[in-house]
């Protein structure tokens, strides 16, 4: 498996991984899966300042992806990011998520980010296990925060420190 920076050309493969999650689970709170064009645009927008990585299997096909996004808009939050990881269904449980986070989290620290957060729609034992294996700690639950597939859903939040909390300088923009 190889991990590399995503490009907008990965939009179709990323959309294909994400679509079944949107359509058939409550793991994502989107209700309509984004198409290739929208996914490519999301990748391109993210890469202007933050990393978006893809894992590629031995056949050259994208088998997972991970990216970071701003935690919140206000200036005092600039050292915190939210992280996301999705793995192609046939590759789950094979270390793809760990490999992606194993590259993404140190990269975020190098860029100057201090805290990473992950929101996990509950229940989702696989995602909880992945985040905790990567050193994230549970910090709370938003109860009944989203309604999908006929039921109210909770979102658990996990946090991981990325670097020492010294007097920070502004994070550096990602340059692929």
What is the extent of the structural domain holding 59? 2-161
d(CA 65, CA 46): 13
pLDDT tens by residue, 113-130: 999 999 999 999 999 999
Structural domains in the chain (count): 1
Does 22 map to a domain? yes
Phi, psi of 132, deg, nearest 5:
-70, -35
Does 45 map to a domain? yes
CATH number at residue 134: 3.40.630.30
Does 21 map to a domain? yes
Does 20 map to a domain? yes
pLDDT recorded at residue 166: 84
Does 7 map to a domain? yes
Strand 52-56: give its sheet, edge to edge: 2-5, 52-56, 62-70, 80-87, 115-122, 151-161, 137-148
Does 98 map to a domain? yes
* Residues of the chain where predicted confidence (pLDDT) is lower than 70: none
Does 154 map to a domain? yes
Burial of 34 (C-beta count, 10 Å sphere; 0-12/13-18/19+): middle
pTM (predicted TM-score): 0.96
pLDDT recorded at residue 176: 81
Does 172 map to a domain? no
pLDDT recorded at residue 154: 98
pLDDT recorded at residue 106: 98
Percentage of the residues of the chain whose pLDDT score is greater than 70: 100
């Amino acid at each position: 498996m190889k991990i590399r920076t995503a490009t907008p050309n990965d939009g179709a493969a990323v959309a294909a991984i994400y679509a079944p999650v949107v359509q058939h689970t409550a793991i994502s709170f989107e209700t309509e899966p984004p198409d290739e064009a929208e996914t490519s645009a999301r990748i391109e927008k993210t890469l202007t300042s933050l990393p978006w990585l893809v894992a590629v299997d031995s056949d050259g096909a994208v088998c997972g992806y991970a990216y970071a996004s701003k935690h919140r808009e206000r200036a005092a939050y600039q050292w915190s990011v939210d992280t996301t990881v999705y793995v192609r269904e046939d590759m789950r449980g094979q270390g793809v998520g760990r490999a992606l986070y194993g590259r993404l989290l140190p990269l975020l620290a190098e860029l100057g980010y201090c805290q990473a957060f992950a929101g996990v729609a509950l229940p989702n034992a696989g995602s909880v296990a992945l985040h905790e294996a990567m050193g994230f700690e549970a910090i709370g639950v938003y109860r009944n925060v989203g309604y999908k597939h006929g039921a109210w859903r909770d979102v658990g939040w996990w946090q991981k420190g990325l670097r020492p909390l010294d007097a920070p300088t502004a994070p550096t923009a990602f340059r692929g």
